[in-house]
Amino acid sequence: MSAPDHALKAVRDRIESACREAGRDPDSVRLLAVSKTRDSDEIRALHTRGQTAFGENYVPELVAKHDTLEAPPAPLGLEWHFIGALQGNKTRAVAERATWVHTIDRERIARRLSAQRPAGMPPLQVCLQVNISTEPQKAGVAPAEAAALAAAVHDLPGLVLRGLMAIPAAAESPQRQREPFARLRALRDHLNARGHTLDTLSMGMSGDLEAAILEGATVVRIGTALFGPRP
């Protein structure tokens, strides 16, 4: 097996066995291939093997790879997920290219993305990024402020609020690693009890995807385990 075949199979196997342990259908967890720092050919190699959703953290990389791979006459039609920090002056490039944005943590950015979403495209699918362990200096809305942000985002015509995303700090054991993921799920349930219909929990990376799946992840964002260590 080639390296991409091997890596994809290994990650899919991990997802499947975590789903088995959790009593979940493996089709309920989507694999988002995090292609930051990787080039367009590496994305193509995974796409050839059936991978369609790719995550980018840096706006210039999203622009370069999207515009290469989606150029006529043979656009790949990938799902582009933006999962990085977003500044106000970079929202237009994302609104014009992304299918999803996982990192909405303030209303101003959400308003700009909604206003800049081109009329001919379907609404942008979004998650609120939550600072689930309330760590200082970390991106994400505070859990106590998530309901207000969710209400504001819900009203924006260019966006569809799909769920919550978090990047918890590494814990000292797999068991402890489940705690922040469980809190994110509880917050999603709380918002749904208040009238939202959030179906997405974007949580789990190469090192902790099992803990995230056991707590209900519906999207795992995997870089290193698919592409190898980043340069």
Ligand X SMILES: *Cc1c(COP(=O)(O)O)cnc(C)c1O
**Residues in contact with ligand X by the rule CB under 6 A:** 34, 36, 57, 83, 167, 205-207, 221-225
Residue nearest ligand X by beta-carbon distance: 223
What does the chain look like in DSSP terms, one character per residue?
--HHHHHHHHHHHHHHHHHHHHT--GGGSEEEEE-TT--HHHHHHHHHTT--EEEE-SHHHHHHHHHHHT-TTS---PEEEE-S---GGGHHHHHTT-SEEEEE-SHHHHHHHHHHS-TTSPPEEEEEEB-TT--TT--SB-GGGHHHHHHHHHT-TTEEEEEEE--PPPPSSHHHHHHHHHHHHHHHHHHHHTT----EEE---TTTHHHHHHTT-SEEEESHHHH-S--
> Looking at beta carbons only, is 140 or 216 nearer to ligand X?
140
Quote the least distance from Cβ 43 to ligand X, whole Å.
15
17 versus 197: smaller Cβ distance to ligand X = 17
| Residue 212: CB minimum distance to ligand X, A | 11
Q: Which lies closer to ligand X via its Cβ, residue 85 or residue 186?
A: 85
What is the residue whose two structure tokens read 């091997």? Answer: 6
Q: How far is CA 90 from the centre of its chain?
A: 18
Residue 165 CB, nearest approach to ligand X (Å): 8
Looking at the Cβ atoms of 122 and 204, the one nearer to ligand X is 204
Closest CB 32 distance from ligand X, rounded Å: 8
What's the closest the beta carbon of residue 206 comes to ligand X, in angstroms?
Answer: 3
Question: Least distance to ligand X from the beta carbon of 102, Å?
Answer: 7
Identity of the residue, 178 or 221, whose beta carbon is nearer to ligand X in the bound complex: 221
How do 219-222 and 30-34 pair as beta strands?
parallel
Nearer to ligand X, 75 or 207 (CB): 207
